[in-house]
Amino acid sequence: MKPISAADAQKTSWDVILVGTSFASCFFAYKLKGRGLRVLFLERGPFIDHDTQLETRVPHPTGGVAQENSSGQRKDWTVRHQFGGCSNCWWGNTPRLQPSDFELFSRYGVAQDWPVSYGDIEPYMVEAEYLMDIAGSDEAGYAPRSAPFPFPPHAPTRAERKLFAQEPSWQPMPCARSNGGRRTTCCVSGACNLCPVDAKFTILNSLELFEDEGFHYLLDAECRTVETAAGLATGVVAQTAELGPITLRADFVGLGANPIFNSAILLRSGIGSDLVGRGLHEQVGQFVWVNIPFDNYYGGTSLTGMGYGFYDGEFRREAASVLIESWNAPPSLRLEKGKWLQRLKLKLVAEDLPQEQNRVVLKDDAPTILWSGHSAYAYAGLARARERVSSLIPFDHEIVGIGGIEPTEAHIIGGTPMGTGSKTGVVDKNLRVFGVSNLACLGAGTFTTGAAANPTLTLSALSLYAGEQL
């Protein structure tokens, strides 16, 4: 993948233009390697190598987005304008969505089913796990697997050893924080937002996976609109630092900016169904602190365990699925002499449902989020988990604190969902925009519904799946 100037990019007729340089675009491009294609990545931000990020200690360049929040609660959205996007700042947790997450309506009468099934994309989940050197447990039974994990799970905490042995709903957390492979082993500092030893998978430290003679990237270039003619995308208009607005021609366009900016591009372009931008959402998180009668921690990475006790079942007709995270670093300490480490730090993470009123609109040609709050369904799931979490801790304990609702889980979902037609979605099962067959939307914006599990592995698998169809 080589840099190119705006002037040279404008002179070239591209086979494929991909907007963004994070998981969605790069995993799509992985399937284009070796096919003799001219592929251009448009990156809105700069290229900042890992050493420079560490030197500056600033999580820049983050991107802001306007919001009108009527929920009464703080709501943040994690946006990253930089080569590699949010792969620079993610924590690397990679649990799979479960088969039931794709079938909420047919199983529980809630929302709608995805037009792809777990079985359709499971082979691509395996492929993504191997590309990212995921560490996980082959004995975990909640997500059917066709192949083992590339590397074994990190060492559990002392509390998790008891949880895993006595309560089968607890399992090791799969993650892209290295426990073998190409990268340095995780240093367990709990500073995963900017990993000091570059142990977690990022696009920057894995560029060799996406190398091809025909791949180029243009920095400081914001895609503003997609141009179309006779029902086909012909290219994009981008605002560049070098030349201002330029038109770039291509036979295929893939939007992998993020759910907010993908929606904004389609809205500016007048492309897509009435559902464009609607249903923006993400998970809802809440910490729980538990005192226990023995020292905890000493696990092999930041988050080492997860609980599936509230993930699936008939209760999902009324209340959201909840995944429980067990945290190792940064730890929560007891402020009692001799009991500093006798603490279990958990986080309840509930799925949310897309709601039409939560959406992206354009104001002065810029995206603005209209946010009215998480769904009652999500809050019901959290309440159910809070009431029952003690039942999943099979040793003496005392819940000593429950945190407020977290302002973000940094997992933006929706806005360009998959559906069976333009009345139920913006894109089809191959992520192609209805009515414009050579235009794709990539990333978690295409999820038909959210899930309690982290979305990155699934969106990467979907990109591999969609890239193979091109």
Cα Rg of the chain (Å, integer)? 22
From residue 270, give the alpha-carbon distance in Å to each of 165, 264, 265, 273, 429: 55, 10, 9, 9, 21
Query: 343-350 and 359-363: which strand pairing?
Result: unpaired
Domain containing 223 — which CATH number? 3.50.50.60
What is the Cβ-side half-sphere exposure of residue 13, based on CA atoms within 13 angstroms? Answer: 2
DSSP string, 404-447: ---S--S--B-SS-B-SSTTT-SB-TTSEETTEEEEEE-SGGG-
Examine residue 148 and say whether the peptide bond preceding it is cis (omega within 30 degrees of 0): no
The full 3-state SS of 18-56, as one line of letters, equals EECCCHHHHHHHHCCCCCCCCEEEECCCCCCCHHHHHHH
* Model confidence pLDDT, tens digit, residues 267-308: 999 999 999 999 999 999 999 999 999 999 999 999 999 999
Using alpha carbons, list the distances in angstroms from residue 203 to 211, 291, 302, 370, 413.
11, 39, 20, 31, 20
Structure tokens at 83: 């080569």
Distance CA 337, CA 267 (A): 58
Angle, vertex CA 328, rays to CA 92 and CA 91, nearest 5: 15
Secondary structure string (H, E, C) spanning 188-200? CCCCHHHCCCCCE
What per-residue confidence (pLDDT) applies to 59? 54
Q: Per the structure block, which two tokens stand in for 228?
A: 């179309």
Helix axes 456-469, 23-30, angle to 10 degrees: 40
Q: How many CA within 13 A on the CB side of residue 1?
A: 27
Q: What is the pLDDT of residues 97-113, one digit of tens each?
A: 999 999 999 999 999 99
- Of 220, 196, 201, the closest CA to residue 57 belongs to 196
Predicted structure pTM score: 0.97
pLDDT value of residue 262: 98
For residue 322, the 8-state DSSP code is: E
Nearest to 362 by CA among 258, 269, 235: 269
Q: Can you tell me the distance from the alpha carbon of 469 to that of 458, in angstroms, rounded to the nearest whole number?
A: 17
**How far is Cα 312 from Cα 309, in angstroms, rounded to an integer?**
8
Number of domains composing the chain: 1
d(CA 258, CA 280): 11
Nearest to 157 by CA among 362, 360, 331, 300: 300
Which is nearest to 296 in space by CA: 163, 159, 170, 167? 159
User: What stretches in the chain show pLDDT beneath 70?
Assistant: 58-63
Cβ-based burial of 52 (10 A; exposed 0-12, middle 13-18, buried ≥19): exposed
What is the per-residue pLDDT for 58? 63
Structural domain for 93, as ranges: 2-469
* Residues 6+ positions from 294 with CB-CB distance below 8 Å: 158, 159, 342
Token pair 């519904």: residue: 449
> What is residue 380's three-state secondary structure?
helix
Place of tokens 């990545």: 41
- The residue to which tokens 């449902």 are assigned: 353
For residue 347, give both structure tokens: 């986080």
Cβ partners under 8 Å of residue 335, min gap 6? none
Distance CA 354, CA 359 (A): 9
